[in-house]
Structure 1
Amino acid sequence: MASRSETSETLRNKCAACFRQFNKMEHLVEHMRISSHSVHEPMCGICKKHCRSFESLREHLIGPLPKQECKNIFSVLGCKFCLTILDSYNSLMIHQERCQLSNLNAGLIARMSNIGLRDNLTNDSGYTRGPQVVALACKMVGGGSDGSLDLCGRVCLIDENENIIFHTYVKPPIPVTNYRYESTGIRSEYLRDAMPLRLVQSKIQNFLCNGEPMWKIRPRGGKARILVGHGLNHYLDRLQLEYPAMMIRDTATYPPLMKTCKLSNSLKYLTQAYLGYDIQTGIQDPYEECVATMRLYMRMRSQKHAVEDHPLASDPQNRNNFASWRQAELERMSAEEMLAISRSDYYCWCLDS
């Protein structure tokens, strides 16, 4: 049987974020050095455990092996979409009406049925309210001898209010050998006189940069627009577009929205799990996907996290927080003190607010 002093020492070596326990303080220090725990991680509203993603938080609350105490409370007072804990059942009912966006989906489908072709791409020289945010989605047709080469056949851009800024069919630079009609709804006649890829590329590039040279684009204080989407690297590649990574918000690679094994979740799953409605049930419309990614982005951006002067582990001011030469000093700290100086290893979208 472990002595009381041994038990006390083990508790002292317990991580204040994820609750892992270590035999020695030096092991806890090494854990904090590589874990990048921070206020930006999804956190259980009951036991305050930090999780690396919302999927791991969901497993903690309602998974196959949840923490039983948290599961019992969550089953009564928890929102299954944003995983928040409310203080009463009535508060939960009011919250879920706002949190579940399926009631907005009927209007979305009606708007999709009359989408038409739009081109409202205009530059804006104003700096008044921070970077504008737009969402982009494409539908791919097939090229090559077996039709497996992705070619952009349709593209859509929307603003923060889900208004269509740009929507057009795209004429690929090489022949289409598979229109993939069952999923894209695209026919050969739609692309016969469609806008050429080069023109689409130029229009979108100019709109995103908003009058700024590519080399001058910066995340804050500039005119360039934040670009939201799911699998954006593939879209940009097919559109032959270049855009700075610091201005891209991709729901496929955003750590809190990824699987516990750090693989991407599908947009269909994310929309059903975090917004409460289904997409991609038949012919897939890029406008529908733009709206889903914009709503996911807004949900992630609206999280209220504690304000930090230097929130990223990569910020120069944080480079010595867990330096090896501080080992003796760190081992004298409590777990809570080490958590206080720990910083995130990814850019939390709440910082866009």
Structure 2
Amino acid sequence: MIGIFNNYLLYEDRMDSRNVSSETSRNKCAACFRQFNKMEHLVEHMRISYHSVHEPVCGNCKKHCRSYESLREHLIGPLPKQECKNVFNVRGCKFCLTLLDSPNARRVHLERCQHSGGLLTNFANLGLRDNLTLDNGYARGRQVVALACKMVGGGNDGSLDLCARVCLIDENENIIFHTFVKPPIPVTNYRYETTGVRPEYLRDATPLRQVQKKIQDFLCNGEPMWKIRPRGGKARILVGHDLDRLHLEYPAVMMRDTANYPPLMKTSKLSNSLKYLTQAYLGYDIQTGMQDPYEDCVATMRLYIRMKSQNHAVEDSPLASDPQNRNNFASWRQSELERMSPEEMLAISRSDYYCWCLDS
């Protein structure tokens, strides 16, 4: 009798274990694969995670990652998922982190994915240019330009950043504006080794305020600042890295900053440097020795185009802030949400940032 009773207890333990395992599996996030003890915990996770089709996704296991840095760690980091790493080593691109159909497809892909040659332009011969003109509404689609600047030092110790050189390019990497800038206060450190700026270059340069106004008018392209909207209109999209440095007055909805774009940031939500982003995602080095803002312009434009070209599923209301989505995970829907499957909750989840693929 004791043996039968013990066997019954063992059977009950196994059944309880199976039920717990089944319940935990049901409470597994369909995006990031985190498991929760209770369905209400999974609902809360979905409420604050903003999983969506715009997140970087592992081509092998389909896990959603918050940023490409997180996906990189998942695939080729110090502690990767071994199965995904093994597949990625054979068929993966270490720059765009895409998984190709075959090793041969990977070889073909790498030839156009990696900008291994960097820039062939001789920076010293770029010269100063001013091709800033309005298009009078004849251009098709929203125009995109990239901006970069180089800073010299001001203040007693030369640590105060002052803009001394500005470059603006179009989507085809053609220079449309390139000039030296006269800072509003005296320069105490020209940082020549990296900026290439000498005192005589700034003596007759255009004052900062005039440069700002000229660029601002070009970006607005004939539209009043208050009238600029993210969709439609003639105003241009501005791409750059750490765009706050030039202190331009321009609507945030028209700026694409590689320093503050969530998919390109570190897992700790801090910014990656443009130098790192270019090396990791484009495959060549920049900012070695004497630097030119044209080089930074090209790098940011290439990063923008890479992010913009992602093939994400089309959604009518892609942002969590869109009116149609504001009640998707409302607290008054708690009971209804707890009856949903993880896949159903993922289907109604939306992104909390503007994905650049929406510019296409």
**Number of residue pairs the alignment of both structures matches:** 346
- Between the aligned partners of 2:136 and 2:316, the Cα distance in structure 1 is 29
- Between the aligned partners of 2:105 and 2:34, the Cα distance in structure 1 is 33
Name the residue aligned to 2:338. Answer: 331
Instruction: Choose the corresponding residue for 1:96, options 90, 104, 110.
Output: 110
Question: What is the one-letter code of the residue matched to 1:247?
Answer: M
Which string of whole-angstrom CA distances, capped at 9 and with x for unpartnered residues, describes residues 205-235 of structure 1?
Answer: 1001101111000011111110000000122
Which string of whole-angstrom CA distances, capped at 9 and with x for unpartnered residues, describes residues 50-93 of structure 1?
Answer: 00000000000011111110000001110000000111111000
Name the residue aligned to 1:60. Answer: 74
Shift of 1:271: 0.2
Instruction: Choose the corresponding residue for 2:55, options 41, 44, 49.
Output: 41
Instruction: Choose the corresponding residue for 2:23, options 6, 9, 12.
Output: 9
Instruction: Choose the corresponding residue for 1:262, options 251, 269, 277.
Output: 269
- Between the aligned partners of 1:202 and 1:65, the Cα distance in structure 2 is 49
Name the residue aligned to 1:315. Answer: 322
Q: Which runs of 5+ in 1 are unaligned?
A: none
Q: Contact 1:127 / 1:223 at 8 angstroms: preserved in 2?
A: no
Instruction: Choose the corresponding residue for 1:81, options 76, 91, 95.
Output: 95
Which string of whole-angstrom CA distances, capped at 9 and with x for unpartnered residues, describes residues 279-337 of structure 1?
Answer: 00101110000000000000000000000000000001100000000000000000000
Name the residue aligned to 1:341. Answer: 348
Shift of 1:172: 1.3
**Correspondences of 1:245-260 after superposition (within 5 Å):** 245-260=252-267
Matched, 1:144 2:155: yes
Q: Which runs of 5+ in 2 are unaligned?
A: 1-13
Q: CA RMSD in A?
A: 1.0
- Between the aligned partners of 1:83 and 1:205, the Cα distance in structure 2 is 36
- Between the aligned partners of 2:227 and 2:49, the Cα distance in structure 1 is 33
- The normalised TM-score by structure 1 is 0.96
Which stretches of structure 1, 4 residues or longer, exceed 6 Å deviation after superposition?
none
Percent identity between matched residues is 83
Question: What is the one-letter code of the residue matched to 1:92?
Answer: R
- Between the aligned partners of 2:259 and 2:203, the Cα distance in structure 1 is 32
Bigger radius of gyration, 1 or 2?
2
In structure 1, the residue corresponding to 2:151 is in which secondary structure? Answer: strand
Question: What is the one-letter code of the residue matched to 2:158?
Answer: G
In structure 1, the residue corresponding to 2:150 is in which secondary structure? Answer: strand
Question: What is the one-letter code of the residue matched to 2:218?
Answer: F
Name the residue aligned to 2:5. Answer: none
In structure 2, the residue corresponding to 1:345 is in which secondary structure? Answer: coil
Name the residue aligned to 1:278. Answer: 285
Question: What is the one-letter code of the residue matched to 2:263?
Answer: P
Question: What is the one-letter code of the residue matched to 1:334?
Answer: S
Shift of 1:149: 1.5
Shift of 1:129: 2.7
Matched, 1:298 2:305: yes
- Between the aligned partners of 1:55 and 1:174, the Cα distance in structure 2 is 39
Instruction: Choose the corresponding residue for 1:212, options 212, 216, 223.
Output: 223
Name the residue aligned to 1:50. Answer: 64
- Between the aligned partners of 1:81 and 1:344, the Cα distance in structure 2 is 24
The range that moved more, 189-198 or 132-141, is 189-198
